[in-house]
Amino acid sequence: MGQITLKAVRKSFGEVHVIPGVDLEIADGEFVVFVGPSGCGKSTLLRLIAGLEDTSAGQIMIDGKDATALPPARRGLAMVFQSYALYPHMTVRKNIAFPLKMAGLSEAEQAKKVDAAAAVLNLTAYLDRRPGQLSGGQRQRVAIGRAIVREPSAFLFDEPLSNLDAALRVTMRQEISELHQTLKTTMIYVTHDQVEAMTMADKIVVLNAGRIEQVGSPLDLYRAPDNLFVAGFIGSPKMNFIEGAEAARHKAHTIGIRPEHIGVGSGNWEGTVLLSEHLGSDSFIKVDVDGIGIINVRAGGELGIHHGNRIRLAPDADKIHRFDQAGKAIR
Amino acid sequence: MSRAITPQAKAINTGLAWSVALLIAFPILWTVLTSFKPEPQAVASPPIFLGFDWTIQNYIDVQDQRAYFRYFVNSVVISIGSTLLGLIIAIPAAWSMAFVPGARTKDLLMWMLSTKMMPAVGVLVPIYLIFIRLGLLDTRIGLTVVLMLINLPIIIWMLYTYFKEIPADILEAARMDGAGLREEILYVLTPMAVPGIASTVLLNIILAWNESFWTINLTTVNAAPLTAFIAGFSSPQGLFYAKLSAASTMAIAPILIMGWFSQKQLVRGLTFGAVK
Ligand SMILES: Nc1ncnc2c1ncn2[C@@H]1O[C@H](COP(=O)(O)OP(=O)(O)OP(=O)(O)O)[C@@H](O)[C@H]1O
Ligand SMILES: [Mg+2]
């Protein structure tokens, strides 16, 4: 079980209202990702759920029971920290066994569970080492091992991969996704990495200044962002926003079009290429469109377009997002 | 960081390091050598390095004339006592400043350190008068308390810097792993802080052992530690260099031996935890 409900949860540090009020429903077994710009309160929200910070107001329910006042140790959740937070004076074996020891399991039971977790995470050869003698990826695995052994009702991850290099990040991302498929336990995962959010999540929660901007599946957020913030935040490269006459033509204050939804070669828009980046599989082109402004376009690979060329662009009419004065989507 | 070092450069460096070390340690070496000389050879000119008539008579005389052992016991009691007493106060103080800092924690730390900048004579008279009133003059307990207070800012500062080094994440991880406050302190905090506490203890025992302003001014006989022992020796026996050297050697030997065996901890302590 791992069903978590936040009801009007608020958090202030002194005068600073970091979380002005959040309502959120997380179903059992769901993989939920919190995304948002730096300082928007992702970690704070996670730590409120963990019990590492006290809520200023509101209620946190875990599996239907009020956990608002419970200490972290009694919430039955496990957390993987960005810094790994391994116990430096203990061996890998002792690190992984620590939650079991706290739960009062016998030495034999501890050993059995530690060995099983180590086998799953490829750590068997390192059980007698100290954290200081491990690589970043191995430390990350130990941290995950320590989280999974005691079978928590939910896992909390705070940017667990941000200290790893790009290649390892991809591998670990897949390992965590596979782990979720095997364990089917609720996972709440904080990141500011687009790709992690889009690939791992069942449900993405987009946060901005401590408020939830939108909750939905990755494709929902991509296809139908509720507002300008979500539209600009989800998707890479970023959505183009156009105001003025062109927007008025679509009966909106602002219109948005993703770089990948603009055709190159023909069309109504004409402009000068300011920059073209050829990645092989893709080309990113920055165009100064007459009467509209700077537009980023993502086109196919091996395109013969260069700085200074005049080109025509055709935005896909079906993929234009319309927003009103307040930035809300017009549907 | 690795740099290529030629054998010549290494030899020169080693030679230099030894010369500097010898130069710094020379007064102590000379004191020790002199303590084994008969009195006339101790003042011989030109000085004799090793070719003198080695004797331990000075040590026997020193012990006969003044009971070394009583001073030694006082030094041990006062330095260890003041350090332990200091720890009892400093550990909770440093914990709270490191893990639940308030708005004024930094100011408080600076203020504590600033008391060390003040010359001790400035408060000699008030403390002396208080000691007379309370009947603490020339008592071990009085001296223990004063030395504890003198070194308390340093103990708190050292512990604070060690505790600061323990990442809050790790303590939070322990909480998430099901540890209550007791388990957190027992299994995670203390094992991680032990090296820091150990070097703090060592350094402060040494500081208290060597403290000579208060120990000499607030004692006469009963509570007098080894600092007073040497001081007392130098006036009436000032011209007997060999005996004075023997007395000094006996006073510094215990702390030198302790320091020798705990070098590693001490270096960590003296650098305030900056070296890992
Ligand atoms: N203990 C604290 N005291 C005061 N303010 C805090 C405290 N912890 C966090 N904040 C503030 O709360 C806000 C949200 O912080 P939080 O760490 O949750 O951001 P985040 O979304 O995790 O950012 P990042 O992506 O950089 O990790 C920040 O403005 C931060 O300065
Ligand atoms: Mg964060």
Q: What is the pTM of this model?
A: 0.77
Q: Does B85 share its domain with B208?
A: yes
What pLDDT sits at residue A67? 95
Q: Which of A9, A44, A45, A55 to mutate to test the pocket of ligand 1 (most atoms within 8 A of CB)?
A: A44
The percent of residues above 90 in pLDDT, for chain A, comes to 85
Encode pLDDT of A156-209 as tens digits.
999 999 888 888 899 999 999 999 999 999 999 999 888 899 999 999 999 999
**Domain range spanning residue B15?**
7-56
The percent of residues above 90 in pLDDT, for chain B, comes to 34
| Residue B275: inside a domain | no
Cβ contacts of B177 on chain A, cutoff 8 Å: 73, 78, 98-99, 102, 146, 150
Neighbours of B91 (CB within 10 A): 17
Is the Cβ of B77 closer than 8 Å to some Cβ of chain A?
Answer: no
Please tell me which residue, B100 or B23, carries the higher pLDDT value: B23
**Least confident among A70-74, A201-205, B11-15, B263-267:** B263-267
Q: Does B52 share its domain with B79?
A: no
Please tell me which residue, B168 or A312, carries the higher pLDDT value: A312
C-alpha of residue A213 to centroid of ligand 2, in Å: 18
Model confidence band, residue B276 (pLDDT cutoffs 50, 70, 90): very low
Q: What residue owns the CA closest to ligand 1's atom 28?
A: A39
ipTM given for this complex: 0.85
Q: Does B77 share its domain with B116?
A: yes
pLDDT at B226 over 80: yes
What pLDDT sits at residue A163? 86
User: Are B56 and B36 spatial neighbours (Cβ–Cβ below 8 Å)?
Assistant: yes
| Residue B72: inside a domain | yes
What pLDDT sits at residue A176? 93
What pLDDT sits at residue B238? 57
**Least confident among A17-31, A113-127, A266-280, B242-256:** B242-256
Work out the average pLDDT over A20-39. Answer: 95
Chain A residues bordering chain B (beta-carbon distance below 8 Å):
50-52, 71-73, 77-79, 81, 83, 85-89, 98-99, 102-103, 146, 150
Mean pLDDT of chain B: 86
Q: Does B41 share its domain with B139?
A: no
What pLDDT sits at residue B275? 40
Answer whether A50 sits within 8 Å of B176, measured CB to CB: yes
Could you tell me which of A114, A139, A117 has the C-alpha nearest to residue A129?
Answer: A139
| Residue B2: inside a domain | no
What pLDDT sits at residue A101? 95
Q: Does B51 share its domain with B82?
A: no
In A236-330, the DSSP E strands lie at 240-243, 254-257, 262-278, 282-289, 293-300, 310-315, 321-323
Q: Does B15 share its domain with B101?
A: no
What pLDDT sits at residue A220? 95
Q: For residue A207, which ligand has an atom nearest its CA?
A: 1
Taking the C-alpha atoms of residue A76 and residue A50, their distance in angstroms, rounded to an integer, is 9
Q: Does B99 share its domain with B51?
A: no
| Residue B116: inside a domain | yes
| Residue B1: inside a domain | no
Q: Does B137 share its domain with B20?
A: no
DSSP-assigned letters across all residues of chain B: ------HHHHHHHHHHHHHHHHHHHHHHHHHHHHHTS-HHHHT-SSPPSS-S----HHHHHHHHHS-HHHHHHHHHHHHHHHHHHHHHHHHHHHHHHHHS--TTHHHHHHHHHHGGGS-GGGGHHHHHHHHHHHT-TT-HHHHHHHHHHHHHHHHHHHHHHHHHHS-HHHHHHHHHTT--HHHIIIIIIHHHHHHHHHHHHHHHHHHHHH--HHHHHS-SSTT--HHHHHHHHHTTTTT-HHHHHHHHHHHHHHHHHHHHHTHHHHHHHHTTT---
| Residue B80: inside a domain | yes
What pLDDT sits at residue A196? 92
Q: What residue owns the CA closest to ligand 1's atom 18?
A: A41
Residue holding tokens 């239907």?
A64
User: Are A213 and A271 spatial neighbours (Cβ–Cβ below 8 Å)?
Assistant: no
The tally of domains found in chain B comes to 2
Q: Does B101 share its domain with B49?
A: no
Q: Is there an atom of ligand 1 within 6 Å of A192 CB? A: yes
Neighbours of A234 (CB within 10 A): 26
| Residue B144: inside a domain | yes
Q: Does B35 share its domain with B125?
A: no
Q: Does B127 share its domain with B18?
A: no
Q: Does B96 share its domain with B228?
A: yes
Domains of chain A: 4-231 (3.40.50.300), 237-323 (2.40.50.140)
The percent of residues above 70 in pLDDT, for chain B, comes to 93
pLDDT at B173 over 50: yes
Encode pLDDT of B79-108 as tens digits.
999 999 999 999 889 988 998 888 899 999
Encode pLDDT of B35-84 as tens digits.
898 888 887 778 887 878 888 888 888 888 778 888 999 999 999 999 99
Taking the C-alpha atoms of residue A230 and residue A213, their distance in angstroms, rounded to an integer, is 7
Mean pLDDT of chain A: 93
CATH number assigned to the domain comprising residue B148: 1.10.3720.10
Counted residue by residue, chain B has a size of 276
